[in-house]
Amino acid sequence: MQELAARHFFLQADTAALPFLRERPRSTSSGGLAIGRSQLHLPSPQPTCQLVHARYTFRHMDPRTAAHTLTQIADLLELQGANHYKSRAYRTAARSVLDVATDDLGPPLRSGELARTTGIGPATLGVIKELVETGESSYLAGLREDSPEGLLDMLRVPGLGIAKIHIIYKELGVGTLTELEESARDGRLASVKGFGPKTADKILKGISHLRETGTYVLYPHGLAEAVRLLASIESHPDVLHAAVAGSVRRRSEIVADVDIVAACRGEPAAVAASFTRAPGVRDTIGAGERSVSIRYVDGTRLDLHCVRPDEYAVACFRATGSTEHVRDVAAHASALGFTFSGDELHNSQGKIVSLADEQSLYRTLALQFVEPEMREGYGEVDAASRNALPALITGSDIRGVLHCHSNYSDGTSTIAQMAAAAKSRGWTYLGISDHSQSAFYAGGLTPDQVRAQHEEIDSVNAKLTGFRVLKGIEADILDDGRIDYEPELLDSFDYVIASVHSRFRMDEATMTARVLRALEDTHITILGHPTGRLLLTREPYAIDMEAVLEKARDMNVAVELNADPHRLDIDWTFCQRAKALGVTVEIGPDAHSTVSLDYMDLGIGIARKGWLEASDVLNTLPATDVLKRAKNRRVPRKRRSPARAGK
């Protein structure tokens, strides 16, 4: 369900986006994200326009429009309760067709290339064929007749699944978000069997949250779309080079649109105008200007800034933002006698300063280069003026990962498979931390299962060289702050991650007291996903994070930066605060498969955004030091906090 909110803006992409892109973004020497010339080559945008809707003149079918149609079919099939594999086939085909390097699907359809494309089967190929020939899909039209389109919007409300939507529609005839909100406010929804006042209130909050975040998607989706758009823009014959800017470049947790800067050999406004006439464009703002905002048929939004080559450095700086960072740099520049005028920097004599790149811009202003992730107006300009910016952590600093699940609980890979995948990434250890027994909904381990898993880990380790699997657990923090399992069983783990997985609606004082008590348990090595947020679907629970961070420092407990793209918890502002307080941060992928080990890329980005250095992060240490830290927290049992009596 968490994915559905993204489908009306960016087409669905795998949440571990980086590994699934046809080109991984390059890393700069300092570890920052640099998205430049792509290896994806698409033909130049054509001046003709085609779309499937009657109000447009149909010319030819582009991949984006076809993918949007396939995604709509998948959504409606899911809403109507069709076989899961059927809806997934259409979603897979949407991703596949979006990667076809053409502006017109007609030629690859006729040549047989589409039929040979992985992910496109006979049924989905038939839909594409009809789109190419007529610009419409009779299958989609039929599905729309059977499902009010407003139900798709309702499906985006956090916590409102297909079964509940069917009940609401059947009992109340509610088929739009507006009607849903009205029924929740006037009491009709609460009167429906199986709902009640609490559910109605939760749905109202979900609608409010959707309206606040509805135009946003998770960072991996934004990055995937940015790479696609960049490839198209770079293929234009009058574009010399281009780069992704904006919130994607700053590695923001959620993204509203894609910003791209293009250096042009011709007239920038003419180049920008050609993209407003490209296939798949629904509408534009700023037509005729050098900077245009383009909205595509699938809801994707592009802010394109076309400039002369000599303006490129300043344009990249300005388009990257943030507004606060640009403001602070401009104020610093003014104090030195420099001024910004559009995409130009002028000196005290009013002359344009020639700048080769962004590094030259910062150097001219007597500033350290500020990595894009840090540009949020949180004191980075002042630090750069004092040559006091941190040496940010990079992926190569990571020695191993600790928050990983196996098929013993809710993971999909075996311990041996997880170990092999981690070793292939250059790490020297992997911690298996499946759920504890209280998390029965996630296959939490009984004591007997824990013992069996430890035997298997010993067996796997016996076959490994230069690599070690650690015995961990993600133990639930119970309602009163105790840790799941009895002390003797907790003693058997190399380390313990303690996390809240229930009772999220506690008030701030109660939740804070719960977590503070848990931090006193000497078995705990790491506090997992400390605020419990799920980006775009669930707000953080009420908790005093300042008190939690201070307690974690005093108890020598690491605080997790959970790298799952739906969490990224703690956020980057708390990373910065943890660093200031001297709290160690652990970056954990919360991996439930070998593929999701790559979530570490996302965690590194947020850690850099939060100013973290290698010395601030637990898993930059070798396994022996991690184990020593965990062991040193443990004290004679008579001084331990009481733990839950296990079976």
CA distance linking residue 631 with residue 633, whole number of Å: 5
The string of pLDDT tens digits covering residues 202-256 is 889 888 877 776 678 899 999 999 999 999 999 999 999 999 999 999 999 999 9
The burial of 266, by beta-carbon neighbours within 10 Å (0-12 exposed, 13-18 middle, 19 or more buried), is given as middle
**CA-based nearest residue to 236, from 273, 205, 282, 191:** 273
For residue 92 the two structure tokens come to 């897979």
CA distance linking residue 181 with residue 192, whole number of Å: 14
The whole-chain average pLDDT of the chain stands at: 87
pLDDT band at 636 (very low <50, low <70, confident <90, very high): low
The mean pLDDT of 59-83, rounded to a whole number, is 86
The pair phi, psi for residue 50, each rounded to 5°, is: -140, 140
Residue with the larger pLDDT of the pair 255 and 80: 255
The string of pLDDT tens digits covering residues 152-171 is 788 878 778 788 888 898 88
Q: Minimum mean pLDDT among 75-79, 265-269, 305-309, 367-371: which range?
A: 75-79
- Do residues 557 and 519 lie in contact, with contact meaning Cβ atoms separated by under 8 Å? yes
**CA-based nearest residue to 401, from 535, 609, 554, 594:** 594
Residue with the larger pLDDT of the pair 549 and 210: 549
- Do residues 578 and 549 lie in contact, with contact meaning Cβ atoms separated by under 8 Å? yes
- Do residues 34 and 27 lie in contact, with contact meaning Cβ atoms separated by under 8 Å? yes
- Do residues 611 and 576 lie in contact, with contact meaning Cβ atoms separated by under 8 Å? yes
Q: What is the DSSP string of 567-625?
A: T-BS-HHHHHHHHHHT--EEEE--BSSSGGGGGHHHHHHHHHHTT-BGGGBGGGS-HHH
Which amino acid appears at position 105 of this protein?
L
CA distance linking residue 155 with residue 129, whole number of Å: 29
The burial of 191, by beta-carbon neighbours within 10 Å (0-12 exposed, 13-18 middle, 19 or more buried), is given as middle
CA distance linking residue 475 with residue 524, whole number of Å: 9
Give yes or no for a cis peptide into 322 (omega within 30° of 0): yes
The string of pLDDT tens digits covering residues 108-136 is 999 999 999 999 999 999 999 999 998 88
The string of pLDDT tens digits covering residues 294-349 is 999 888 999 999 999 999 999 999 999 999 999 999 999 999 999 999 999 999 99
pLDDT at 149 over 80: no
The string of pLDDT tens digits covering residues 449-464 is 999 999 999 999 999 9
Tokens 């490209």 identify what position?
278
CA distance linking residue 183 with residue 185, whole number of Å: 5
Whole-model pTM above 0.85? no
How, if at all, do strands 429-435 and 400-401 pair?
parallel
- Do residues 28 and 34 lie in contact, with contact meaning Cβ atoms separated by under 8 Å? yes
Q: What pLDDT is recorded for position 8?
A: 32
Which uninterrupted H or E stretch holds 380?
helix 380-385
Strand boundaries in 312-366, DSSP class E: 339-341, 344-346
- Do residues 517 and 550 lie in contact, with contact meaning Cβ atoms separated by under 8 Å? no
Strand boundaries in 370-482, DSSP class E: 400-401, 429-435, 468-476
Residue with the larger pLDDT of the pair 54 and 483: 483
- Do residues 75 and 152 lie in contact, with contact meaning Cβ atoms separated by under 8 Å? yes
The string of pLDDT tens digits covering residues 570-615 is 999 999 999 999 999 999 999 999 999 999 999 999 999 999 999 9
Q: In sequence order, what are the beta bridge partners of 314?
A: none
Give yes or no for a cis peptide into 35 (omega within 30° of 0): no
pLDDT at 505 over 70: yes
The string of pLDDT tens digits covering residues 538-547 is 889 999 999 9
How, if at all, do strands 258-264 and 217-218 pair?
unpaired
How, if at all, do strands 239-245 and 429-435 pair?
unpaired
- Cα distances (angstroms) measured from residue 545 to each of 504, 551, 641: 15, 10, 22
Q: What pLDDT is recorded for position 381?
A: 98
Residue with the larger pLDDT of the pair 597 and 6: 597
303's CB contacts (< 8 A; 6+ apart) are 246, 257, 258, 259, 260, 291, 292, 293, 294, 319
Q: In sequence order, what are the beta bridge partners of 304?
A: 260, 292
- Do residues 227 and 21 lie in contact, with contact meaning Cβ atoms separated by under 8 Å? yes
430's CB contacts (< 8 A; 6+ apart) are 400, 401, 404, 418, 419, 422, 423, 467, 468, 469, 470
Q: What is the DSSP string of 100-164?
A: SS-S-SHHHHHHTTTTTSTT--HHHHHHHHHHHHHS--HHHHHHHHHS-THHHHHTTSTT--HHH
- Do residues 259 and 242 lie in contact, with contact meaning Cβ atoms separated by under 8 Å? no
Tokens 């409300």 identify what position?
157
Task: Tell me how far the alpha carbon of residue 336 is from its chain's centroid.
Answer: 39
pLDDT at 531 over 80: yes
For residue 632 the two structure tokens come to 């040193």
User: How many other β-carbons are positioned within 10 Å of the β-carbon of residue 610?
Assistant: 27
**CA-based nearest residue to 479, from 500, 457, 449, 455:** 500
DSSP3 helix / strand / coil % (the chain, rounded to 5)? 45, 15, 40
Three-state DSSP at 91 gives helix
Which amino acid appears at position 562 of this protein?
N
Three-state DSSP at 435 gives strand
The string of pLDDT tens digits covering residues 19-45 is 323 232 323 333 333 344 332 222 222
Residue with the larger pLDDT of the pair 637 and 404: 404
pLDDT at 58 over 80: no
CA distance linking residue 558 with residue 43, whole number of Å: 50
Terminus-to-terminus CA distance in the chain, angstroms? Answer: 35
Q: What pLDDT is recorded for position 12?
A: 30
Q: What pLDDT is recorded for position 262?
A: 98
- Do residues 554 and 372 lie in contact, with contact meaning Cβ atoms separated by under 8 Å? no
The mean pLDDT of 84-109, rounded to a whole number, is 90
**CA-based nearest residue to 302, from 253, 244, 259, 262:** 259
CA distance linking residue 70 with residue 54, whole number of Å: 18
Which uninterrupted H or E stretch holds 313?
helix 312-320
Q: What pLDDT is recorded for position 59?
A: 54
